[in-house]
Structure 1
Amino acid sequence: MSRTSARAPDTAAGERVLILSAGVGAGHNSAAAAVQQACTARADVAEVQVLDVLQVSSVLYRALLAKGYFVLVEGLPWLVEWGYDVSNPPFRRRGPIDPWTRVNAGPVVSAIKRFRPTAIVCTHFLPAQLLASLLLRGVVDARTAVVTTDYDFQGLWLSSAFHALFVAREEGRVELLALGLPPDRVAATGIPIATQPDLVQVRDASEPPMLLISAGATGGDYALAVVRQTMHMRSAFRATVVCGNNDRLRHRIEQLVAPAGDRYRVLGFTAEMPQLLHRADLFVGKPGGLSASECMAAGLPMVLVNPIPGQEVRNGDYLMEQGAAVRCNSTATIGWKIDEVLREPGRLPRMRAAAQRTGRPDAAADVLSGLLGGPLRPLVVTRAAQRTVLAASEQRFVATDLTGPSALVRLVDRATGSTIALLQAEELGDLQKRYAAPTGDLVLRRGRAPAWPRWEERRLLRAILRGDDALPVRGVGPETPFHTLP
């Protein structure tokens, strides 16, 4: 494949930002839309485009990934949890993308070439893995960001080449530094959500508390049980029930609450969700990454029901740890649990304050600032370094504590000070034999790597040299503990 650009991207006419998502649930596309909105607020962005990579894939591939996932969620949740845990170790998969994915990636690669981006933002791990392959093969030169969409970091999001990795919370950043990733390539920004600058908090203290009961975009049937339980509550309240795209669910709930008069308002899919979040006193629903982030930004506490095993359970753990949520593990106690929150003096204000502290409403803007103001050269994690990270994780070691030939070291660009490669100490020794300069530094040079078996070295040089013929770098050893790095 041909290169899309050489050396630094041409941004004289403004940045060209391509946002790649995958429509597995609504959250990834919502995060992409939030980044797109943030692009429109920047004078240096000339054009922005969003592409759902599944929409340009084959029908079978799209059905298996998008629809198959939710079939498992409904029918075999234990299998979803098992899959989450199996794919969680960092760099469990180190080889190239599988042939089926590569075939379906063809239209995505064509779209990238047509758009000629100077920056690419990935809000799903599928395009992130594809972009890593393209960076290493020299197909793209654009700055590439990976933006996670859940509070807990999953190793599946780690790829072998990227420019910046943005996680939802500081604990995720600390985890990645402990794995050996350099601090100049990882930032805790929060999860990108759309901003509503004209909205202000409109909760009326003189009115009964407002519950916002959400069935999610697809309209989960669990909402029917939630509503039924609220009808047994002793506390005064009003409720808005959002049923998403499930018209059948909406009709069933309307029939259920008909005897309750005007206490309940039942909606289908609505564009009013931002307004509803700012009017409500308590959100009742699933802790998806985007839903939770929107609630936190609005200062809205949550009652968590029916979380998807894996990421949503861990999202809920974090929100409860912050004091911004409670979880209902039994359908029979949902009404009682909400009653407990509403009846305990001062509890709802404390939860609201915790939600406000947890919220990151500027995440999308921070992602763009970090990417567009960051290094031009990507970070490359060699496969040997990936093996070190994986082995340390499986053995419950902190990778940065390792010593010897397999210890992790960094290559730092002399001119910019940015880390451009994570590799094993043994690999650095090999590079020093071929690229050592009289000053004691290394000067990486195009065409100097042996033809075989140094193919990994050739990938490294191709990705980080970009359009240059030589690059002065220095090696940084593992002696600095990750928690003291800037």
Structure 2
Amino acid sequence: MRKSSARGQTTEAGERVLILSAGVGAGHNSAAAAVQQACAGRTDIAEVQVLDVLQVSSVLYRALLGKGYFVLVEGLPWLVEWGYDMTDPPFRRRGPIDPWTRANAAPVIGAIKRFRPTAIVCTHFLPAQLLAMLLLRGVTDARTAVVTTDYDFQGLWLTGAFHSLFVAREEARVELMALGLPSDRVAATGIPITQHVTDPSTLTRGTDRPPRLLISAGASGGDYAVSVVRQTMHMRSPFTATIVCGRNDALRQRIEQVVAPAGDRYRVLGFTEEMPQLLRGADLFIGKPGGLTASECMAAGLPMVLVNPIPGQEVRNGDYLMEQGAAVRCNTGATIGWKIDEVLREPGRLQRMQAAAQRAGRPDAAADVLTGLLDGPKRPLVVTRAAQKTILATSEKRLVATDLTGPSALVRLVDSVAGSTVALLRSQERDDLEQRYSTGRGDLVLRRSKAPAWPQREEQRLLRAVLRGDKELPVRVEALSGRSSSRE
């Protein structure tokens, strides 16, 4: 689905922001909507457009990616976990985009050319990979942000060219820096969520009433959701519960029948616009730890009881939340009621978890992403394919980039004027560049060339992306320690 909202009349000075997502689940599109909302708070943005790349692809491609994933989640979760682990190492796949994906990307490329963005935000790795190709080919020079939507970093999000990479937490930023990514291109902002104006009088979280549970049944699946609700009926602690079933009317009717004997203790809802109020009025959330759901709960100071997580990213999200003290996980449906009782009956435990959730919340993530991108470097960072190979090997050997020596060691090229890192390459590639572009004073001046000394295509990719419309670019060479480096 394409959405466009123009804020007044477009001017030459105003930013044109294109937000690219993919409707694999609701989280990526929700993050895109949050960034779109944050655009409205800036006076330097003339127009913003949101595009779900799957909506303009072929029906088969959309079905395989959008629906096929959840078929595997329900039927073959072990295969989902295997696929997640197989694609987790950064730059495991370094070749060009496959022909089928390229064909389905054609409408997206057309939309980019028509909209003429000055900035692009990707909330899914599919458009992020496409934008890397377009930057390297000179199709666009828009500043490009990659915005991850889970707490743990997954290697598919790391591409060969981008301007800014925004991750959910500091540990992910440290991980990427350990692999060699420069600190000026990676920021820990949190996961973008939409902001809601909530009447304080509607927020009644406190100790003068039984704890309120908020159960996300629609996200937990039919039979499992019913079992979760059944288990809460065996709890000994006093409580009330709101159960949200989303657009699953059949599930809502099943749950209404299950809780009917409990009287008014339970409130069962279908799709609702009240989620912001429900999140801020509840005391404890029971559901799956999707990235956006977890981020919204943390921003609301709402701790979680995690049930039935999707293998891979949701399990890792849960690990982070439990590490922060903001969640507990129940690994079997038969003990959910007991697990919640344990939280509610221990004096002060619920309050400690709520405080931990509040500390983990990043409600301003969307605005921080825009600030980081629009106020950040104008030239992209290019990671050469040789450097990508080194980064993959580094991750597989559990090393950090500064441990590497010799021709495979990584160095970076830094824009001498702007001070931003524009390329990450192997030491051997640096030697080849010095033969052609050295000034004799320890730095380089990159220029367009017709007879490169190292592989022509790779040098052309680098020069085309970092020079943009300029004829030359003075750069200095630095080792990953930050020291000036002409030789190691």
What TM-score does the superposition give when structure 2 sets the normalisation length? 0.95
Alignment partner, residue 176 of structure 1 = 176
For 2:12 and 2:261, locate their aligned partners in 1 and report how far apart those are by CA, in whole Å: 64
Is the Cα–Cα contact under 8 Å of residues 184 and 418 in structure 1 kept in the other structure? yes
**One-letter amino acid of the structure 1 residue matched with residue 470 of structure 2:** D
Is the Cα–Cα contact under 8 Å of residues 219 and 243 in structure 1 kept in the other structure? no
SS of equivalent residue, structure 1 residue 141: coil
Q: Residues 204 and 349 of structure 1: is their aligned pair in 2 closer, same or farther, counting only changes over 3 Å?
A: closer
Alignment partner, residue 338 of structure 2 = 336
Question: Deviation per CA, 1:329-359, whole angstroms, max 9, x where unpaired?
Answer: 0100000000010000000000000000000
Question: Deviation per CA, 1:144-194, whole angstroms, max 9, x where unpaired?
Answer: 000000000001100000000000000000000000000000000000000
Alignment of 1:4-15 (within 5 A): 12-15=12-15
Segments of structure 1 that go 5 or more residues without pairing to the other structure are: 1-9, 482-486
1:199 Cα deviation from its structure 2 partner: 4.6
SS of equivalent residue, structure 1 residue 262: helix
Is the Cα–Cα contact under 8 Å of residues 301 and 361 in structure 2 kept in the other structure? yes
1:450 Cα deviation from its structure 2 partner: 2.5
Alignment of 1:172-211 (within 5 A): 172-200=172-200, 201-211=203-213
1:308 Cα deviation from its structure 2 partner: 0.2
Alignment partner, residue 291 of structure 2 = 289
Which of these residues, 307, 310, 313, is aligned with residue 308 of structure 1?
Answer: 310
SS of equivalent residue, structure 2 residue 406: coil
Q: Runs ≥4 in structure 1, deviation > 6 angstroms?
A: none
For 1:393 and 1:458, locate their aligned partners in 2 and report how far apart those are by CA, in whole Å: 27
Answer yes or no: is 1:35 the counterpart of 2:42.
Answer: no
**One-letter amino acid of the structure 1 residue matched with residue 377 of structure 2:** P
1:439 Cα deviation from its structure 2 partner: 3.1
For 1:399 and 1:197, locate their aligned partners in 2 and report how far apart those are by CA, in whole Å: 45
For 2:218 and 2:402, locate their aligned partners in 1 and report how far apart those are by CA, in whole Å: 41
SS of equivalent residue, structure 1 residue 95: coil
For 2:477 and 2:99, locate their aligned partners in 1 and report how far apart those are by CA, in whole Å: 35
Answer yes or no: is 1:244 the counterpart of 2:246.
Answer: yes
**One-letter amino acid of the structure 2 residue matched with residue 137 of structure 1:** R
SS of equivalent residue, structure 2 residue 286: strand
1:236 Cα deviation from its structure 2 partner: 0.6
For 1:17 and 1:195, locate their aligned partners in 2 and report how far apart those are by CA, in whole Å: 19
Answer yes or no: is 1:460 the counterpart of 2:478.
Answer: no
Is the Cα–Cα contact under 8 Å of residues 11 and 118 in structure 1 kept in the other structure? no
For 2:450 and 2:172, locate their aligned partners in 1 and report how far apart those are by CA, in whole Å: 38
For 1:11 and 1:186, locate their aligned partners in 2 and report how far apart those are by CA, in whole Å: 30
Answer yes or no: is 1:417 the counterpart of 2:419.
Answer: yes
Alignment partner, residue 385 of structure 1 = 387
Q: Residues 192 and 416 of structure 1: is their aligned pair in 2 closer, same or farther, counting only changes over 3 Å?
A: same
For 1:448 and 1:436, locate their aligned partners in 2 and report how far apart those are by CA, in whole Å: 17
**One-letter amino acid of the structure 2 residue matched with residue 251 of structure 1:** Q
1:42 Cα deviation from its structure 2 partner: 0.5
1:220 Cα deviation from its structure 2 partner: 4.4
SS of equivalent residue, structure 2 residue 111: helix
1:204 Cα deviation from its structure 2 partner: 4.0
Alignment partner, residue 134 of structure 2 = 134
1:219 Cα deviation from its structure 2 partner: 5.1
SS of equivalent residue, structure 1 residue 323: coil
Alignment of 1:130-279 (within 5 A): 130-200=130-200, 201-216=203-218, 220-279=222-281
For 1:147 and 1:463, locate their aligned partners in 2 and report how far apart those are by CA, in whole Å: 21
Alignment partner, residue 399 of structure 1 = 401
1:440 Cα deviation from its structure 2 partner: 2.8
Q: Residues 449 and 338 of structure 1: is their aligned pair in 2 closer, same or farther, counting only changes over 3 Å?
A: farther
For 2:451 and 2:433, locate their aligned partners in 1 and report how far apart those are by CA, in whole Å: 9
Which of these residues, 433, 446, 449, is aligned with residue 448 of structure 2?
Answer: 446
Is the Cα–Cα contact under 8 Å of residues 219 and 287 in structure 2 kept in the other structure? no
Is the Cα–Cα contact under 8 Å of residues 306 and 328 in structure 2 kept in the other structure? yes
Alignment partner, residue 123 of structure 1 = 123
Question: Deviation per CA, 1:94-147, whole angstroms, max 9, x where unpaired?
Answer: 011111000000000000111110000000000000000000000001000000
For 2:143 and 2:108, locate their aligned partners in 1 and report how far apart those are by CA, in whole Å: 17
Q: Residues 215 and 440 of structure 1: is their aligned pair in 2 closer, same or farther, counting only changes over 3 Å?
A: same
Alignment partner, residue 3 of structure 2 = none
For 1:171 and 1:452, locate their aligned partners in 2 and report how far apart those are by CA, in whole Å: 36
1:395 Cα deviation from its structure 2 partner: 1.4
For 1:153 and 1:11, locate their aligned partners in 2 and report how far apart those are by CA, in whole Å: 37
**One-letter amino acid of the structure 1 residue matched with residue 113 of structure 2:** K
For 1:451 and 1:199, locate their aligned partners in 2 and report how far apart those are by CA, in whole Å: 65
Segments of structure 2 that go 5 or more residues without pairing to the other structure are: 1-9, 484-488
For 2:305 and 2:196, locate their aligned partners in 1 and report how far apart those are by CA, in whole Å: 23
For 1:338 and 1:261, locate their aligned partners in 2 and report how far apart those are by CA, in whole Å: 20
Alignment partner, residue 4 of structure 2 = none
1:215 Cα deviation from its structure 2 partner: 2.2
SS of equivalent residue, structure 2 residue 460: helix
SS of equivalent residue, structure 2 residue 198: coil
SS of equivalent residue, structure 1 residue 410: strand
Question: Deviation per CA, 1:280-310, whole angstroms, max 9, x where unpaired?
Answer: 0000000000000000000000000000000
What TM-score does the superposition give when structure 1 sets the normalisation length? 0.95
Is the Cα–Cα contact under 8 Å of residues 36 and 50 in structure 1 kept in the other structure? yes
**One-letter amino acid of the structure 1 residue matched with residue 58 of structure 2:** S
**One-letter amino acid of the structure 2 residue matched with residue 190 of structure 1:** G
Is the Cα–Cα contact under 8 Å of residues 277 and 298 in structure 1 kept in the other structure? yes
Is the Cα–Cα contact under 8 Å of residues 198 and 276 in structure 2 kept in the other structure? no
More displaced stretch, 95-104 vs 212-221: 212-221
For 1:217 and 1:73, locate their aligned partners in 2 and report how far apart those are by CA, in whole Å: 12
Answer yes or no: is 1:72 the counterpart of 2:72.
Answer: yes
Question: Deviation per CA, 1:419-445, whole angstroms, max 9, x where unpaired?
Answer: 000000000110000001143310000
Alignment partner, residue 319 of structure 2 = 317
For 2:26 and 2:220, locate their aligned partners in 1 and report how far apart those are by CA, in whole Å: 9
**One-letter amino acid of the structure 2 residue matched with residue 119 of structure 1:** A
Is the Cα–Cα contact under 8 Å of residues 214 and 243 in structure 2 kept in the other structure? yes
More displaced stretch, 225-234 vs 211-220: 211-220
**One-letter amino acid of the structure 1 residue matched with residue 138 of structure 2:** G
Is the Cα–Cα contact under 8 Å of residues 217 and 245 in structure 1 kept in the other structure? no
Which of these residues, 374, 377, 383, is aligned with residue 375 of structure 1?
Answer: 377
